[in-house]
Amino acid sequence: MALEEYRNKRNFSETPEPSGSKRPRPRHAAPIFVVQKHRARALHYDFRLEIDGVLASWAVPKGPSLSPDDKRLAMQTEDHPVEYADFEGVIPDRQYGAGTMLVWDRGTFEIGEGGTAGDQLARGRLSFLLKGEKLRGAFVLLRAGAAGEGRQWLLIKRSDEHADRLWKIDRFDGSVLSGRTLEDIDGGRAPGSSDKKRSGR
Ligand code: MN
């Protein structure tokens, strides 16, 4: 995995997004995941898992769900640098992914049985346990299509004590980093000045 596609799509003198030039993370640290709510041409949620030094990424139009009844379409996108997990703000007009982004959830994950995360990604079937602030428990990402090609995957919650069949994503709006909504960020509201303060951690 490499970041060429990520870098080729962006002009870092125009966008505030990180170029991915930073240090590798300590090897013993648990891998992270992040979900970013992104209002670009269409609203979607970017779901990212740290695998082999980068953030493997999927755009999920309806966002993740804690209901095992939901099969969320997840379009694989280019790998992102690990420090992208800290990014929220406004990507300027005419830049790739122009629009407003917030860190909707973040935490660590454990890969499930079936080999390393890299192996499971290559095979098109990833099992993992999320330990976030909004998303918790067992999930699976399945690549659609028999040949194992293409970028369409499905993100599905597995049944466990964290499942919620009444899940409504809008009940869990706002940044886990700053408490801000997309509207707060658009309006130039500074981190920490929203009513909804980040809890815990
Ligand atoms: Mn996006």
CA of 127 to the centre of ligand 1 (A): 23
pLDDT in the model for residue 77: 96
CA of 12 to the centre of ligand 1 (A): 17
pLDDT in the model for residue 24: 67
Q: In the predicted model, what is the mean pLDDT of the chain?
A: 91
**pTM here?**
0.91
Q: How far apart are CA 151 and CA 143, in angstroms?
A: 7
pLDDT above 70: residue 61: yes
Selection from 162, 164, 184 nearest residue 175 by Cα: 184
**What Rg, from alpha-carbon coordinates, does the chain have?**
16
Read off the pLDDT of residues 111-154 as tens digits, 9 standing for 90 and up.
999 999 999 999 999 999 999 999 999 999 999 976 556 799 99
pLDDT band at 200 (very low <50, low <70, confident <90, very high): very low
Read off the pLDDT of residues 9-46 as tens digits, 9 standing for 90 and up.
999 999 999 998 656 677 778 999 999 999 999 999 99
CA of 29 to the centre of ligand 1 (A): 26
CA of 158 to the centre of ligand 1 (A): 25
Q: Which residues of 74-108 are buried (b: 16+ CB within 10 A; e: fewer)?
A: bebbbbbbbbbbebbebbeeebebebbbbbbbbbe
CB 102 within 8 A of CB 180: yes
CA of 164 to the centre of ligand 1 (A): 25
